[in-house]
Amino acid sequence: MGKAGEVIVVIGRQRSGKSPFIEWLRTQLGFENNVVFDRRGEYSDKNWSRFFSFESFKEFLFSDDCEGCLINIEEATAFISGMKSLNMSDVLTGIAHNHNTMIVVFHSLADAPQYILRLSSYIVLFPTNDDPRTIKNSRSKLYPAFLSVNNPKRAKSKEGWNVPEIVDYNS
C-alpha cells in the first residue's frame, strides 16, 4: 500500500484513529509534497501544505503543480458534494498519471460514494456509527471488515487507537 498512483479511502467516526494513521502513512510513503484540503485546520503547516478554500484546492488538483504529491482530502463528504462526480472521477483516475497518491477521508461508510470505492486501491476502515443493516445491504463486500472493526473487544494499538481493517478493494 502507498505507492504512487493509489487512491486510499480512510473511513471512521471521529476520534477513531484516522488522523494518527494518516500521519503514520505520510511518513511511510515519504512524499516531499504533502497536500491537504483541511477546512477545520487539523493538520500542521510543518508537514502539510494546507488548503482551506474549496476553489483553491480544486484549482490545484487540475494544475501542473499537482504532481508527485500525497493528497489528503479531509471531510470528503462535503468536498465531493461540491464537485460533479465526473470531475472527481477524472481526478481519481488521473492520480497515477501525475505520480500522486490520494487519501480520501469519510466519517461514514454509508456516505462513501460507490464510484469512489470502486476507483480506490485500498479501504482503511476504522469503527463507524453506521447501522449494520445498512452496511450489510449496501456495502456487502466491506461488511466483514465493518463487523470486525466495530467489535468492542477488538484490540487497540499501544497508543490506544483503534486498529483498522485494510481491505484491498479491487482484489
* CB neighbours of residue 17 within 10 Å: 22
pLDDT at 165 over 60: yes
Q: How does DSSP assign 20-47, residue by residue?
A: HHHHHHHHHH--SEEEEE-TT--S-TTT
pLDDT confidence band for 59 (50 / 70 / 90)? confident
CATH number for 7-168: choose from 3.40.50.20, 1.50.10.20, 3.30.470.10, 3.40.50.300. Answer: 3.40.50.300
Q: pLDDT value at position 85? A: 55
Domain assignments of the chain as residue spans, ordered by start: 7-168
Per-residue model confidence as pLDDT tens digits over 42-55: 887 788 999 988 88
Note whether 18 and 114 are within 8 A (CB).
no
